[in-house]
Amino acid sequence: MRRLLCCTLALLLATPLAAAELDLTVQIPEQKVAEYHRPYAAIWIERSDRSVAAQLAAWYAQKDSKEGAGTKWLPDLRQWWRRGGRELSLPVDGVSGATRPAGQYQLKFVDGQAPLGTLAPGDYTLVVEAAREVGGREVVRLPFTWPVSATQHLSAQGSSELGAVSLDLNP
């Protein structure tokens, strides 16, 4: 009996009624250039004072090299580096990843789970930054208020290193 109770309790804890989540779509555009390298990219959430509320993704070269597995060029993600990237001890589970080719990427972040964690109610900005070797650098920002009572759709359009960025906030 006690065992059954435990199991029920565990189930209840593991599957909250409906976990609030962020569904993010990031487009890395194709570049018509002779020398192409996949961009480094970082995704994070800033509080209104621009401090980092959550590090969501860092895509950089994972290849081992004498210069440190691609970490040498991380400061090129200038804003991310300054706002908190340099505080991280890389690689971070669930955050670090390989660079991505051109395409559309869907990412889901669940409230209460790594890497999002629990966002306190307040105003935030989701930031996507991309920097490409011998290419350009671009930052796209999506301000939002958390939590939401109904699904909210936000989007922004990059112009060079990033394409469409859209964010669905689900209660």
Residues of this chain, 102-141, that bind other proteins according to CB under 8 A: none
- The rounded distance, in Å, linking the Cα atoms of 38 and 9 is 46
Q: What are phi and psi of 6, to 5 degrees?
A: -60, -45
CB atoms < 10 A from the CB of 4, how many?
8
Compute how many residues bind other proteins; rule: CB under 8 A: 15
Candidates 35, 49, 87, 93; binder of other proteins (CB under 8 A) is 87
CB burial readout 95-130, b (16+ within 10 A) else e: bbeebbeeeeeeeebbbeeebbeebeeeebebbbbb
Nearer to other proteins, 79 or 99 (CB): 79
x/- mask, other proteins, residues 9-48, rule CB under 8 A, reads: ----------------------------------------
Instruction: Report the distance separating Cα 136 and Cα 124, nearest Å.
Output: 26
Q: Minimum distance between the CB of residue 3 and other proteins, rounded to whole angstroms?
A: 49
For other proteins, the binding residues in 63-82 under the rule CB under 8 A are 66-69, 71-75, 78-79, 81-82
- Output 109 or 129, the one with its CB closest to other proteins: 129
**Tokens (6 digits) for 78:** 């200038």
Nearer to other proteins, 69 or 156 (CB): 69
DSSP state, residue 39? P
Contact between 50 and other proteins per CB under 8 A: no
Q: Could you list the residues that contact other proteins (CB under 8 A)? A: 66-69, 71-75, 78-79, 81-82, 86-87
